[in-house]
Amino acid sequence: MTRRWYPGSRGLLLAVSGLPALAGLAAALWVGADIDALRRVLATPGIELSMASALWSGAIATAIALFLAHIAMALAATGGWRRSLNNLALPLLAMPHLAVGIGLVLVLAPSGLLLRLVSPWASGLTLPPDWQTVQDPFGLSLIAGLVIKETCFLLLVLHAALSQVPAERLLQQARSLGYGRIKGWFVAVAPLLQRQIRLPLAAVLVFGMTNVELAIPLGPGLPPTFAVLLWQWFTDPDPQIHAQAYTGTLLLFAMTLLVLGGAAACGAAVRRVSQHWATGGARGVRERGLRYGLSGLLAALWALGMLAVVAIILRSASGTWRFPAVLPSGDVLSAWRVLAPPALDIAPQTVMFAIATAVAGLLLVLPAAESVHRNTDARRLIGALLFLPLLLPQMTFLFGVQVLLTRLRIDGTFVAVLWSHLIFALPYLWSLVAPARAAIDLRFADVARTLGASRQRTWWRITAPLLARTGLVAFALAFSVSVALYLPTLFAGAGRVATAATEAAAAAASGSLRLASMHAILLSVLPFFAFAIAYTGGALLFRQRRGVPR
Amino acid sequence: MRSPRRCAPRDDGGTASPSLRGCEAAVAISIRLAESVYLRDRHVAALLTITGRPRRCAPRDDGGTASPSLRGCEAAVAISIRLAESVYLRDRHVAALLTITGRPRRFAPRDDGPQLPALARHFIVGLILCAGLAAAAEPDTGSNTVPADWAQIQSDASGQTVYFNAWGGDPSINRYLAWAAEELRAQHDLRLVHVKVTDVAEAVSRIMAEKAAGRDEGGSVDLLWINGENFAALKRANLLWGPWAERVPHAALIDWQDNPTTRIDMTLPTEGFELPWGTAAFTLFYHEPHVPVPPHDPAALLAWIEQHPGRFSYPQPPAFLGSAFLKQLLLLLTDERERLLKPAGDDFADVAEPLWQWLDRAHAAMWRGGRLFPPSGPAQRELLAVGELDWMMSYNPSEASRAIRQQELHETIGALHFSGGALANTHFLAIPANASAKAGAMVTANFLVSPRAQAQKADERHWGDPTVLDMSRLATTERALFDSASTGAATPPAPDQFLPEPHPSWTTRLEAAWLRRYVR
C-alpha cells in the first residue's frame, strides 16, 4: 500500500469549519444562559407572534420551495429542457437575498411595479392604495421571497444530486412499466434525489427561520420576525437588551432544533403517504393538464422574480419615480455615472475574496473527498459536521468566530475574512464535490492502476476530468456564496474590509435605495458570470463526451 | 456588558507566567461587543484608547502597523497601573486592574478584592478613573487659561496650522470647509486642515489616547465638530480646553436667548466649552397638493390625518426620528413642559397620557391602519417619493430641498415647524485641552460663526445648515447675506421657538411604552 497523498485532509477540513462553529456555540451558551435576560425576552411585547411568524414563514416557505423544486426538476428532466431550467434559474440564484427582498418590495408594494403596470388605465388608481401587500402580518410576502430564492437553490442542489442517480435508466424502467413521465419520475427518481439533499434542505429551513436579509424588507413589521427582533436587539446600545439578544439566539437555536425534528417527522409521514401513492398502481398517464398547470405556476413565480430584477435595475437608474408612472423619470445615464464608480471600485476586492474562497475551498475539499470516496458513512458524517455552522443562527455563531479570530490576532486580515467565508462555502462545496467523487465508478481507477498508472496519475487522468464539471459548478457556487456574505465579512473583517455585500447593506441601512440597488446589481452580476462561465466552460470542455456527469 | 465578564477570567492553557493575555481577551471581546452595537460612549472610547485600536469605521492611517494588535493595550494598562500606584490609590479599581492583568501587586493583596465576574466593568471604570486622575493631577499651566486679548490671539494664530477634525461624509460639507480654509488663509494667514473623520468619536478616542500616553501638549486635534455624548465624554474626562466659547467676538451674535440648545447640549450645560456652529430643528414635510392648509399644531394635524386615511405615518420607534416625533408631540401636548427636562419618574404615565390619546386616534386613520410603520426616516422619504405617503419628517429643515436637488424627491414639497416650537438641538465646535494651535482654533471658530460664513453655510447650494446667529443682532448688510442665500422652496423659515430635548430618560420610557401599547 503506497502512502496516500492526502494525509490529514479530513482533519484539516473539519478543523477549518468546526473550530469556529464550536467556539460560536460555546460562546453563545456561555453568555446566553441568563435567567434574567430570558425573563425579559419572554416579557417582550408580541414575542409569541414574533416567534410564530419566524417559524411559520420559514417552515411553509421551505415546504413550498422543496415541492416546487422537485416539480420543476421533474418537468424539465422529463420534458427535455433540463439545461434551460438551469439558465432560467441562474439570474435568480445569483441575486443576493437582500436584493431579492428590495426588488420584491419594488414589485409587490401598492406603489410597486405590478400595480403601476395596470394603473391608472385599468385600475383607475392615481394614488397607491393603502393595501398591506408587503410586510403583511401573515408573512405571505416574506414566504414569496423565500420561495423564489430557495426554489432556485434547491434546484441547484437537486441538479448536483442528479449526477449520482441513474435517472435516465430508472425513468426508462418506469416508463416501460407504463407510468406517465411525471409519475414515473416521482416514483423512481425523486425519492433518490430527496435522500441526497437532506442537509441542504435543513440549511434552507434554518435560513428561512433565522434570516434577516429578506425578513427586514418583506417580513411583518409589528412585531417583526424573531430573527429581526434579535438583530434589532444586537444593534441596541443598552447592554441589558444586548444580553437579551444572546439569550434570544439560544431560544432561536432551540426553535431551529425543534423545527428540524418536526421536519424529520414530517418527512417520514410524507414518505409513508407517497409510498401508498407510488404503489397504488395508478400509472398517471394523462398528465398534460397537470404539466401545463404546474408549468404555469412555476412560470408565474419565475416572472415575479425576474420583475424584481427589473425593478432593481429601474430603481438604481431612477430619479424620482412617483406612482403610477411605469418608468422612472430623470436622466438614467447621469444617475449611473454618479453611482457606478463607487460600486465598481469595490468589485476587485469582492472578486478577490470570492476566488480565494473558491480555490481554497476546493483545495480543502478535494483531498478529503478523495479520502472518503469509498466510505459513505464517513462522507455523510463529514457533510453533517460541515453543515453544523449553517444550522446555527448566524449571529450567535459569528460572535464566537469573532472571539476566536481576535485571540489569534488575525481579525481584519485577509486570512480571517477568507476563513469566515470558507465556513459558509465548505458545506456547499462538500455537498457537490464529495458525492460526485463517490459516484465515479471505482473500476475506472482500478483499471488505470492495473495498467500501471500511479495514484497521482490516476487522479489527474481519470478522476479529475470526471469531476471537472461538478468542480466548476462548485467553484461558481463557492464564489457566489462568498460574494453574498455580509455578516461574516463584517465580523471577521473587523469592519475594515469592504465588499459589495457590506456596501450594499450599508446603503440599504442608510435608506438610499438607489445606491443599494446599484450595489445589488453588482452583487448579482458577479455570481451570474461565475455560474455562466462554469456552465458554458463545462459544456465546452466536454462537448464531445457523453459520460461525463453534469 | 455580560460577555467580557464571563470570558475574561478564562484560564489560558499553557501561559504560566503572569501575562496580559486575559486582559487582552476581555478588552477585545468588549470592543467587539461595543462595536457590534455601535455603542459610541465613553466606555468604548476608553476601551479604544487603551487598546490603541482603530475604530471600525475609521480608515485611520495607522502608520506601519498593518495588522491590528492588542499591543497598545499592554502599554496603556501599564501606564494606568503606574499612574494609580503613584497616587497610592488603594481601592478596588486598582485591585481590579492588578487582578485582570495578573501582575504581582506592590501592596498586600487583599482577599476581599472584587470577584472575577465584575472584573471587566471594574477594569473599564478603573481606567477611566485613572484617566480622570491624570487629568486632575496635572498642574495648571499657563497655556490652559484663555487669554483675554483678542488681538493677541489673532497675532498668535497667524502662521499656525489648525487640524479640524470634522465628519467628512458629505461632499458639499467638504467643499464648504475647503472654502473656509481658503478664506482663513487669505484673512489670517492660517492653514486650516480638514481631517475627514467618519465619526467624531474617532477623534475623541484619539484625544483620550494621547492623554493616556501623557501627551498634554502638542496634540493632533485642534478643533472638533461635536455634540451630545461625545462632548459629554470629553468634558467629563476634563479633556476640553476652556471656557472660551463666549469670548470670541462673534459669540455676541449667537442666539443664546431664544435658542436654549446653544447653551445646553442634550441637557448638559456647555459652560463655554463649545461654541454653537449650526442648529437642527424637527421639521415636517408634506406633499403640497394634498395639504392645501398646512396644520401647524397637533390638533390640526390629527384632523388632517382623520380626513385623509392612510396618508400619514412616522418612523417606527425606537428609530431615531420616530422617537423624535413622539418627543415633539409630547412637548406640544403636555402642560408640564418643564417637567420633561428632569428625569422621568413615577408620574410618567400621567405626563404621557395626552400623547397616547393623540396617537390612539391618529393610528386608526394612519397608513396601514397604524399596524405598520416605515422602519426609518429615509425609508419614509422613499414612501413620500413614490406617493404612498404625504408626509415625512427630519431634523434638518433643508432635507427636502437637498433631496429634490438630488432627484430623490419630487418638487411639490412643503415644510412646516409646529407653531408651538420645534424640537431642536445644536452642533458645536470644541477645542481639546492638548490642542497645539489653540489660538488658531479660536480664530477659526470665530470665523466659522461669522455672519459671512454662517450665511454661506445656510445657503443650500453650499451646505444648507441653519444658522445659530440671532438675525436681530446683525447689521443690515450682514442680514442681506442671509437674504441672498439660496434656500429651496421646500425649506421652512426658522421656527418661532426652539424646544430643547427632554431628559434622555423620557426617550427610553416613551419607546418602551410605545412598544407595549402598539405591538399586538
Quote the pLDDT of residue B19. Answer: 39
Quote the pLDDT of residue A364. Answer: 93
Q: Please indicate if any CB of chain A lies within 8 Å of the CB of B511.
A: no
Q: Please indicate if any CB of chain A lies within 8 Å of the CB of B409.
A: yes
Higher pLDDT, residue B16 or B135: B135
Q: Which residue of B has its CA nearest to A413?
A: B67
Smallest Cα distance from B410 to chain A, Å: 6
Contacts of B204 (CB under 8 A, 6+ apart): B45, B224, B226, B230, B233, B234
Positions of chain A with pLDDT under 50: 1-3, 550
Q: Which residue of B has its CA nearest to A321?
A: B386
Quote the pLDDT of residue B118. Answer: 41
pTM of the model as a whole:
0.72
Tell me the pLDDT tens digit for each residue of B219-255: 888 999 988 778 888 888 899 998 999 889 999 999 8
Q: Please indicate if any CB of chain A lies within 8 Å of the CB of B7.
A: yes
Q: Which residue of B has its CA nearest to A135?
A: B372
Contact A495 B408 (CB under 8 A): no
Which stretch of A421-430, B193-202, B418-427 has the lowest confidence by average pLDDT? B193-202
Asked if A100 contacts A309 with a C-beta cutoff of 8 angstroms, the reply is no
Least CB–CB distance from A236: residue in B7, B29, B37: B37
No. of helices (H) and no. of strands (E), chain A: 26, 0
CB < 8 Å from B in window 18-37 of A: 27, 30-31, 34, 37
DSSP assignment, residue A189?
Answer: I
Most confident of A141-150, A214-223, B201-210, B397-406: A141-150
Contacts of B118 in chain A (CB under 8 A): none
> Measured between alpha carbons, how far is A157 from A302 in angstroms, rounded to an integer?
18
Higher pLDDT, residue B359 or A239: B359
Query: For residue B351, is pLDDT > 50?
Result: yes
Higher pLDDT, residue A66 or B101: A66
Tell me the pLDDT tens digit for each residue of B42-97: 444 444 445 444 444 333 333 333 233 334 444 444 444 443 333 333 333 444 44
pLDDT class for B29, splitting at 50, 70, 90?
Answer: very low
Contact A406 B28 (CB under 8 A): yes
Quote the pLDDT of residue B494. Answer: 80
Provide the pairing of β-strand B191-197 with B223-226: unpaired
Which stretch of B75-79, B162-166, B361-365 has the lowest confidence by average pLDDT? B75-79
Q: Which residue has the cell 410603520?
A: B373
Least CB–CB distance from A128: residue in B35, B67, B387: B387
Contact A323 B388 (CB under 8 A): yes
Q: Is A29 exposed, middle or buried (0-12, 13-18, 19+ CB in 10 A)?
A: middle
Task: Report the percent of chain B where pLDDT is more than 70.
Answer: 69
Q: Per the omega criterion (within 30 degrees of 0), is the bond before A348 cis?
A: no
Tell me the pLDDT tens digit for each residue of B317-337: 877 789 899 999 999 999 888
> ipTM beyond 0.85?
no
Instruction: Answer positive or negative: Cα dihedral of B312, B315, B321, B322.
Output: positive
Residues constituting chain B? 520
> Measured between alpha carbons, how far is A253 from A241 in angstroms, rounded to an integer?
18
**Phi, psi for A491 (deg, rounded to 5):** -70, -55
Q: What is the largest CA-CA distance in chain A?
A: 80
> Measured between alpha carbons, how far is A121 from B261 in angstroms, rounded to an integer?
52
Query: DSSP strand E in B410-450: where?
Result: 413-416, 422-430
